[in-house]
Structures are given as structure tokens and as C-alpha cells.
């Protein structure tokens, strides 16, 4: 069974690589650069996604990308559940 990649999952990943817990509710729409998450943080997020969900998004996690884009990329690439 595939785990869901939810907004909460995204927030947990962001916090695990150094996002300020007081960053606010709009973190999914702000770029990684605006969130002060550098390339090392983005690589760490991509590695955790690869390990946990089997989806490789590292090359798409640029400074200008947003966590909501990351969520969309992962969700589109997750294996379909059920069948």
C-alpha cells in the first residue's frame, strides 16, 4: 500500500530540513529560496522522498520551486493504489 503524500507530509519534510516552525501557513506557496532552504536542504528533501516514496524529484527542486509544486510532482509519480 502506498502512503499518501499530503500537505502535512510536505510540512514535516520542510521542518526536518530546517524550516522555521513559525514560517506560517503559506509555506507551500513560497519558493524554497523564500523559505531559506538552500540546495543542501532541497537535496535532503529529495533523498527522503526517494527513500520513503520511491519517487525521484531532485532535479526539479530548484530554488524557485515551491513545496506545492514538489507535492504535485510526487503525487503524479506515485504508483496508483489498489490495482
Higher local confidence (pLDDT), 2 or 58: 58
Q: What is the pLDDT of residues 45-54, one digit of tens each?
A: 999 999 999 9
Query: For residue 73, what is the DSSP state?
Result: H
Q: What is the pLDDT of residues 2-12, one digit of tens each?
A: 578 999 999 99
Sign (positive or negative) of CA dihedral 62, 55, 45, 43: negative
Gap between the Cα atoms of 41 and 58, Å rounded: 11
Q: What is the pLDDT of residues 18-37, one digit of tens each?
A: 999 998 889 999 999 999 99
Q: Which cell numbers hold the place of 29?
A: 506557496
Residue 80 has pLDDT above 70, yes or no: no
Gap between the Cα atoms of 66 and 2, Å rounded: 23
Amino acid at each position: 500500500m502506498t502512503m499518501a503524500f499530503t500537505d502535512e507530509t510536505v510540512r514535516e519534510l520542510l521542518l526536518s530540513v530546517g524550516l522555521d516552525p513559525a514560517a506560517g501557513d503559506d509555506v507551500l506557496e513560497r519558493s524554497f529560496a523564500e523559505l531559506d532552504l538552500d540546495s543542501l536542504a532541497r537535496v535532503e528533501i529529495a533523498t527522503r522522498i526517494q527513500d520513503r516514496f520511491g519517487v525521484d524529484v531532485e532535479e526539479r527542486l530548484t530554488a524557485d520551486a515551491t513545496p506545492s509544486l514538489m507535492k504535485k510532482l510526487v503525487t503524479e509519480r506515485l504508483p496508483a493504489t489498489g490495482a
